[in-house]
């Protein structure tokens, strides 16, 4: 538990630092900076207290919100294939940063809810548990 907490806060630092470089954001809500977020309006992220599950939480969100481009036949599948656990977990802090800043999904695509966004970010911060 302690080790996970340390790991998690380290990842969080990396994610926040990357964000700070790209945009000026409050802890839980980004309003500007990343141009995609500006186009989409306010980016709100609602992070859960515990660690989300891959099968129950994350995979269904990826399928609903990301498969259009990163799934079977999607325009970005060759670049980032999210049809496997390895593909999603391997995107790591890049995925967390892009979702937290509302760079992904692109503003003209269907948007995750704040809770869905929070689940993706927190799952990466938890070390991408495969449960």
DSSP state of 83: S
* Backbone torsions φ then ψ of 129, nearest 5 degrees: -60, 135
DSSP H or E run through 35: helix 35-40
- For the bound state, the minimum distance from the C-beta of residue 86 to ligand HEC, rounded and expressed in Å, comes to 14
- Torsion sign, CA atoms 14, 19, 20, 22: positive
The window from 2-10, 25-33, 47-55, 104-112 that contacts ligand HEC (CB under 6 A) reads 104-112
Q: Which is nearer to ligand HEC, 68 or 127 (CB)?
A: 68
Of the candidate residues 91, 100, 102, 121, the single one contacting ligand HEC (CB under 6 A): 91
Interface residues toward ligand HEC, by CB under 6 A: 65-66, 68-70, 76, 79-80, 91, 94-95, 98-99, 104-106, 109, 112
């Amino acid at each position: 538990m302690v080790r996970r907490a340390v790991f998690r806060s380290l990842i969080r630092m990396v994610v926040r630092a990357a964000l700070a470089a790209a945009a000026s954001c409050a802890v839980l809500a980004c309003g500007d900076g990343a141009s995609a977020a500006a186009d989409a309006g306010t980016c709100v992220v609602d992070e859960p207290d515990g660690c989300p599950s891959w099968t129950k939480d994350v995979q269904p969100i990826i399928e609903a919100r990301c498969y259009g481009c990163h799934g079977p036949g999607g325009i970005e599948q060759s670049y980032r294939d999210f049809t496997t656990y390895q593909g999603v977990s391997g995107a790591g802090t890049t995925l967390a940063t892009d979702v937290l800043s509302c760079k992904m999904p692109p503003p003209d695509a269907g948007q995750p809810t704040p809770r869905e966004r929070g689940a993706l970010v927190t799952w990466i911060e938890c070390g991408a548990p495969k449960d």
